[in-house]
């Protein structure tokens, strides 16, 4: 609401607000649901901000930004992870990502590095990267993503998204948030995708 109605006023305090949001996202002592909420707000903030503001903000929060790859690894929640990846993308150029990927993710192989660098169509490409990243974590894996043919909650059948980029119907078991996330087709529409969290 504030971003839609008071955008100009908020962007006058861009660095202060952004720093507060990012500080919460990277703070392990803050409850996960609040960190996820702040990550979503940060991504929205970065999306609406001018590109120049994002670049100067990244420099301003260099010490906090450097913690994002660690947070991504330990997030334990797929939705939180996608918001972290989005924040990284909104604050960096493709050249910076290609240069820094091995430093940010030294524990994964070059295939996973390539998946990160090649994120263009965000949702499916981010899915490929995060699935590969999470599998590489071994006993530290906090998100288990499983493709399925069909999903039901009680008597309600959930439908696979009818969007061409959604190759599979994924269910994410999140150990950090102790939740299950299912991206599915919104009932009565052909293109809208929604998520169901249990």
- Distances in whole angstroms, Cα of residue 62 to Cα of each of 19, 52, 54, 68, 77: 10, 16, 12, 10, 24
Instruction: Check: CB of residue 158 under 8 Å from CB of residue 126.
Output: no
The whole-number pLDDT of residue 188 equals: 63
Mean pLDDT of all residues in 48-71: 88
- pLDDT reported for residue 3: 60
For residue 192, name the pLDDT band (cuts at 50, 70, 90).
low
User: Of residues 185 and 19, which shows the higher confidence score?
Assistant: 19
State the pLDDT at residue 76.
Answer: 95
pLDDT at 110 over 60: yes
CA distance 174 to 33: 12
- Looking at residue 185, its pLDDT comes to 78
Average pLDDT in the 118-138 region? 92
With b meaning 16 or more CB within 10 Å and e meaning fewer, what string describes 57-89?
bbebbeebbebbbebbbebbbbbbbbbbbbbbb
Model confidence, pTM: 0.89
Percent over 90 (pLDDT), the chain: 53
Lowest mean pLDDT among 36-40, 45-49, 54-58: 54-58
Q: Quote the pLDDT of residue 54.
A: 78
User: Residue 6: pLDDT band by 50, 70, 90 thresholds?
Assistant: low
**Residue 77 scores a pLDDT above 70:** yes
CA–CA gap between residue 102 and residue 145 (Å, rounded)? 24
**Please, is 26 exposed, middle or buried when counting C-beta atoms within 10 Å of its C-beta (0-12, 13-18, 19+)?**
buried
How many folded domains does the chain comprise? 1
Q: Are 127 and 140 in contact (CB under 8 A)?
A: no
Confidence at residue 128, expressed as pLDDT on a 0 to 100 scale: 92
Residue 2 pLDDT greater than 70, yes or no? no
* Mean pLDDT confidence for 57-79: 94
What's the domain range around 10?
Answer: 2-197
For residue 72, which of 36, 41, 47, 43 has the smallest C-alpha distance?
Answer: 36
């Amino acid at each position: 609401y504030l971003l839609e109605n008071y955008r100009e006023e908020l962007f006058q305090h861009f660095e202060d607000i952004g720093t507060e949001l990012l500080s919460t996202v990277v703070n392990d002592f803050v409850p996960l649901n609040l960190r996820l909420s702040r990550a979503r707000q940060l991504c929205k903030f970065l999306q609406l901000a001018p590109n120049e503001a994002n670049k100067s903000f990244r420099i301003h929060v260099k010490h906090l930004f450097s913690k994002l790859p660690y947070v991504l690894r330990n997030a334990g929640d797929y939705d939180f992870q996608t918001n972290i990846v989005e924040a990284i993308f909104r604050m960096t150029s493709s050249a910076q990502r290609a240069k820094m990927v091995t430093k940010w993710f030294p524990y994964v192989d070059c295939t996973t590095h390539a998946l990160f660098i090649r994120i263009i169509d965000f949702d499916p490409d981010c899915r490929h990267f995060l699935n590969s990243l999470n599998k590489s974590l071994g006993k530290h894996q906090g998100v288990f993503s499983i493709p399925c043919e069909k999903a039901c909650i009680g008597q309600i059948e959930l439908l696979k998204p009818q969007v061409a980029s959604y190759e599979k119907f994924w269910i994410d078991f999140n150990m950090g948030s102790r939740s299950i996330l299912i991206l599915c087709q919104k009932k009565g529409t052909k293109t809208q995708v929604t998520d169901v969290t249990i």
